[in-house]
Structure 1
Amino acid sequence: MTRLRRPVPAVAVLFGLAVLAGTVPADAETTEQAMARAMAHIEGTAGPVSYARAAEAFEVAAGAGDADAQNWLGRLLFEGLGVERDPAAALERFAAAASQGRPDHVYDYARALEATAVDDAALGHAARLYRQVADTGHAEAQASLGVMLYEGRGVAPDPDAARALFERAAEAGNARALNNLGLLYARGDAVAQDHARAADLFAAAAEAGSPDALRNLGVMYENGFGVPLDEALAHRLYREAGGKGGQAETDPLPYDPRLAPPGTGPEDVRRRDRAAEAGDPVAAFQRAWLALSPDPDAAAPTAAAEARADLARAADAGYPPAMILLAVLLEDGIGVPQDWVAAQAWLLRAAAAGAEGADARAAALEARMTPAQIASAQDRAAR
């Protein structure tokens, strides 16, 4: 089973930072306007997502003392996306934001302190900040402080206090706390061992989005701990979690939800081929989709290469569903060399065009990319 789950250090990969000093005079727009401009670039409502442009606007708002802008810049600097990574500068930004008292900002500051701590004094500082916001009912802070108390990091070990914090956060539906509490019941640590209760907690945590809980629930079913022995279900759970014996289950091959399924009769094929060769992006997309269905990994190399060419023409013509499907091929290296930067650039363009599902796919791929890859993809998408 997995260890008690800590938060991802600082924040998950978010966006690149390229502060362009002096590009926007501080008095050229209000703080509210600067924040609106920044969020438009973050959310892709001002064209393809551009974290560098967002960072420029956040810098304007942060200069006026805006806590949200300070916190965003702390996140950017901590990850080093678009600039040289600078944890010390990030901590300064987080501290400035946290000084204004908003619980989410205090929590982010605590996470950054915990992730960069080199001694017990720094860990103790993080624990005090976690406690400050945990006492307000902040479930993530309760879960984080619980882990520190359980492990005795920066505080005296106290499994009972850790359990109580996990219980409070679990009542709010916090996935990490539900999983950690399940581990306590599975081990009989600070509670009486209860495999059935552990399985219920893992199931609830999995429902709340925890991959660790899916794996832990798989362990329960594989061994018959508190649930009926079911190895097939266990391995399905492992696949869904993306670990122990398989990759995460993939989505169906993306299609344009506005279109009816393409016909496959002889006349349908002839009509579609004529339209595709004449430059119709919808026909080219449908021809490629059929060539790759239902499993693009199983497509013959020649068919995959032809589908890629069709999709490239349709994507270049501005057809968003083709951009998404082309990104799938580039992400997985199907019929083309694997290229996450190119895949992400197409997803960002599709998202900017309002294509359904493009945002979620872009976020999932971004979480696996390096800062340099993210910056390159955003630059390419803006061209």
Structure 2
Amino acid sequence: MRRALLPLALCGAVLSSPVSAQGDWSAAPLVQLEEAAEAGGAAAQYALALRLEEGRGVVQNYRLAVEWFARAAGQGHVAAQGRLGHYYHHGLGVEQDHAAAVHWLERAAAAAVGQDRPQALFDLAAVLDEGPDGGDPARAADLYRQAAELGHQEAAVSLGVLYQNGRGVPQDPLRARDLYEGPAAAGHARAQNNLGLIYVRGEGVPQDYARAAELFQAAADQGLAVAFGNLATMYENGFGVPLNEALAVELYRRAGRGGKDGAEGTGSSGLELRPGAVFDPRLTPPDGSAETLSLLRLGAEADDPLAAFLLGWLLLQDGGDSGGQEGHARQRQAAALLQRAAEAGLPAARANLGLMYFEGRALPQDYELGYMWLVLAGSAGLAEARRLSAELSTRMTPEQIVAAQQMAEARSTR
């Protein structure tokens, strides 16, 4: 259930607002932003859609975000047109529609100027590259080239992939290598990994396992999951690095879990879940002493939600990684305490409870419930929860995400 926006009769207040109709609405009060959006201001509509997309100060809601992006896009707001194209492409908050995605991204690319121009070209190219029935790689290549010439590194790497595979352009590993070199030197993980593959295979260059391993390592250091797998192969066979089967096993494990801290392009979150990983920065972490534990237990027994959260957090730190019946018992106690604190509205408790549902730690694994709690924590201002929900959403289907957002909206209106 969405919260009703202010009626149009109140929109006259916007005229005396310190924020102009086309100004920066990012920090405007929500009520003022809603008034301006309802009054038809495209910039305000776009800003409101972004807040709904991010769950910043409101409960995250992709369906409503799409509505406001569409209203701004219809008025020619270039950034809104681009965002709307993404929503249609991924089927988030709206029925997936490749033609509609291309339509709005075409409009954004045609109108974008300045710094927005290369990004708009890249966004359109990426959708054409991934389109149904093999996409349109030839047109995607031309758009990637235009964006790359304007300095867009991701476009240069994507164009390199087309040359490496001979899609939409003649296969040319040397051209691919040249396109990868600049971004790789600048630290672009995907470029580093792809350049490493060229050296492994000796495609247009002398085969160089040592150089390949260096590049895979650089990409893995940034969390790229596929680079962990490629590096594991090198250690498993002693290609360019000392033979190390134990390290290879660990690298394969990390590749399977999506790397570390936000691996890109893997289709998984890249997050190694750690129970108790989220703590409210406004609080001081408890020291875990026997005296502190005793005081927190007394507070939790007296239904103090803050004490319940702190005690649950400490129990996770103490028993989150240990096995056995005792460790599992601590985790179950922590889950119960965090549930109570989350029900009372504590953002950090909600975030940690969400992580426990995602991992299935002491609770049945449930992505929708996990995402719901992270959304609620993020809407309360916990930035780490918003980051985690963005990371973990890659494990979910669009339908699961929308269902979780609806659950969060229903809970927030109780």
TM-score by length of 2: 0.79
Per the alignment, residue 312 of structure 1 pairs with: 339
- Residues 1:224 and 1:94: Cα distance change in structure 2 (over 3 Å): same
Q: How many Å separate the matches in 1 of 2:357 and 2:273?
A: 15
Query: Higher mean Cα deviation, 372-381 or 208-217?
Result: 208-217
User: Counterpart amino acid of 1:253?
Assistant: G
Deviation at 1:24, TM superposition (A): 9.5
- Residues 1:231 and 1:143: Cα distance change in structure 2 (over 3 Å): same
Per the alignment, residue 285 of structure 2 pairs with: 260
Per the alignment, residue 109 of structure 1 pairs with: 124
Please give the per-residue CA displacement for 1:92-126, whole angstroms capped at 9, x wherever unaligned. 11111111241111111111111115368x22111
Is the contact between residue 215 and residue 243 of structure 1 (CA under 8 Å) also seen in structure 2?
no
Q: How many Å separate the matches in 2 of 1:173 and 1:218?
A: 20
- Asked whether 1:251 is paired with 2:274, we answer yes
Q: How many Å separate the matches in 1 of 2:84 and 2:378?
A: 24
Q: How many Å separate the matches in 1 of 2:335 and 2:248?
A: 36
Deviation at 1:243, TM superposition (A): 5.1
- Residues 1:225 and 1:252: Cα distance change in structure 2 (over 3 Å): farther
Please give the per-residue CA displacement for 1:342-371, whole angstroms capped at 9, x wherever unaligned. 111111111222335212221121111111
Of the three residues 295, 303, 317, the one matched with 1:279 is: 303
Is the contact between residue 286 and residue 292 of structure 2 (CA under 8 Å) also seen in structure 1?
no
User: Counterpart amino acid of 2:373?
Assistant: W
- Asked whether 1:367 is paired with 2:390, we answer no
Is the contact between residue 296 and residue 307 of structure 2 (CA under 8 Å) also seen in structure 1?
yes
Deviation at 1:250, TM superposition (A): 3.9
- Asked whether 1:56 is paired with 2:67, we answer yes
- Asked whether 1:180 is paired with 2:194, we answer yes
Q: How many Å separate the matches in 1 of 2:163 and 2:293?
A: 65
Deviation at 1:290, TM superposition (A): 4.0
Q: How many Å separate the matches in 1 of 2:340 and 2:220?
A: 41
- Residues 1:133 and 1:268: Cα distance change in structure 2 (over 3 Å): closer
User: Counterpart amino acid of 2:186?
Assistant: A
Please give the per-residue CA displacement for 1:221-240, whole angstroms capped at 9, x wherever unaligned. 22222122233333333333
User: Counterpart amino acid of 2:399?
Assistant: A
- Asked whether 1:348 is paired with 2:375, we answer yes
Per the alignment, residue 199 of structure 1 pairs with: 213
Of the three residues 203, 210, 215, the one matched with 2:224 is: 210
User: Counterpart amino acid of 1:283?
Assistant: A
Of the three residues 359, 371, 378, the one matched with 1:332 is: 359
Is the contact between residue 296 and residue 334 of structure 1 (CA under 8 Å) also seen in structure 2?
no
Please give the per-residue CA displacement for 1:135-161, whole angstroms capped at 9, x wherever unaligned. 222211111111111211122211221
Q: How many Å separate the matches in 2 of 1:38 and 1:306?
A: 39
- Residues 1:238 and 1:334: Cα distance change in structure 2 (over 3 Å): same
User: Counterpart amino acid of 1:30?
Assistant: G
- Residues 1:261 and 1:356: Cα distance change in structure 2 (over 3 Å): farther
- Asked whether 1:82 is paired with 2:98, we answer no
User: Counterpart amino acid of 1:313?
Assistant: R
- Asked whether 1:295 is paired with 2:320, we answer yes
Deviation at 1:55, TM superposition (A): 1.6
- Residues 1:188 and 1:151: Cα distance change in structure 2 (over 3 Å): same
User: Counterpart amino acid of 2:50?
Assistant: M
SS at match of 1:254: coil
SS at match of 1:49: coil
Q: How many Å separate the matches in 2 of 1:216 and 1:67?
A: 39
- Asked whether 1:135 is paired with 2:159, we answer no
Q: How many Å separate the matches in 2 of 1:248 and 1:131?
A: 33
Please give the per-residue CA displacement for 1:56-110, whole angstroms capped at 9, x wherever unaligned. 2211210111111111001001111222211111111111111124111111111
Per the alignment, residue 167 of structure 1 pairs with: 181
Q: How many Å separate the matches in 2 of 1:284 and 1:56?
A: 39
User: Counterpart amino acid of 2:307?
Assistant: A
- Number of residue pairs matched by the alignment: 359
The structure whose RCO (Cα within 8 Å, separation 6+) is larger is 1
Is the contact between residue 262 and residue 286 of structure 1 (CA under 8 Å) also seen in structure 2?
no
- Residues 1:302 and 1:203: Cα distance change in structure 2 (over 3 Å): closer
Structure 1 gap segments, 5+ residues each = 1-22
Per the alignment, residue 30 of structure 1 pairs with: 41
Deviation at 1:262, TM superposition (A): 4.5
Q: How many Å separate the matches in 2 of 1:323 and 1:196?
A: 46
Structure 2 gap segments, 5+ residues each = 1-33, 260-269
